[in-house]
Amino acid sequence: MKKMVLILLIFVASGCADLIKIANSLPQTTTSSSIDIAGGLKEALKKGITTQVSKLTLTDGFYNNQMVKILLPDELKVVEQGLRNIGLGALADKGIKMLNTAASDAVKEATPIFVNAITSMSFSDAKGILMGGQEAATQYLKRTTSSSLYTKFFPVVKNSFSKVGADAVWKEIITRYNNIPFVTKVNPDLNDYVTKKAMDGVFKMIAVEEKNIRTNINARTSNLLKQVFALQDRK
Q: What confidence tens digit (pLDDT) does each residue in 143-158 have?
A: 999 999 999 999 999 9
Q: Give the C-alpha separation, 10 to 132, whole Å.
A: 11
Report the share of the chain in percent with pLDDT over 70. Answer: 69
Report the amino acid identity of residue 71.
Answer: L
Helices (H) and strands (E) in the chain, counts: 11, 0
Half-sphere exposure of 190 (CA within 13 A, CB side): 28
Q: Give the C-alpha separation, 157 to 197, whole Å.
A: 11
- The yes-or-no verdict on residue 137 having pLDDT over 90 is no
pLDDT band at 34 (very low <50, low <70, confident <90, very high): very low
pLDDT tens, position by position, 162-191: 887 888 888 887 888 788 887 788 777 888
Give Cβ neighbours of residue 201 (< 8 Å, ≥ 6 apart). 56, 62, 65, 67, 68, 70, 103, 107
The DSSP result for 191-210, as a single string, is HHHHHHHHHHHHHHHHHHHH
Q: Give the C-alpha separation, 235 to 233, whole Å.
A: 6
Tell if the pTM clears 0.95, that is, is over it. no
Q: Give the C-alpha separation, 185 to 128, whole Å.
A: 48
> Whole-number mean pLDDT of the chain?
75
Of residues 225 and 105, which shows the higher confidence score?
105
- The yes-or-no verdict on residue 29 having pLDDT over 70 is no
Over residues 103-108, the mean pLDDT reads 92
pLDDT band at 100 (very low <50, low <70, confident <90, very high): very high
Q: Give the C-alpha separation, 9 to 120, whole Å.
A: 14
Report the amino acid identity of residue 172.
Answer: E
Q: Give the C-alpha separation, 153 to 191, whole Å.
A: 9
pLDDT band at 10 (very low <50, low <70, confident <90, very high): very low
pLDDT tens, position by position, 191-233: 899 999 999 999 999 888 878 877 787 877 767 666 655 554 5
Report the amino acid identity of residue 180.
Answer: I
Task: Let me know: does 98 contact 161? Beta carbons within 8 Å.
Answer: yes
Q: Give the C-alpha separation, 81 to 197, whole Å.
A: 21
185-215 burial, b at 16+ Cβ within 10 Å, e below that, comes to eeeeebbebbbbbbbebbbbbbbbbbebbbe
Q: Give the C-alpha separation, 170 to 95, whole Å.
A: 6
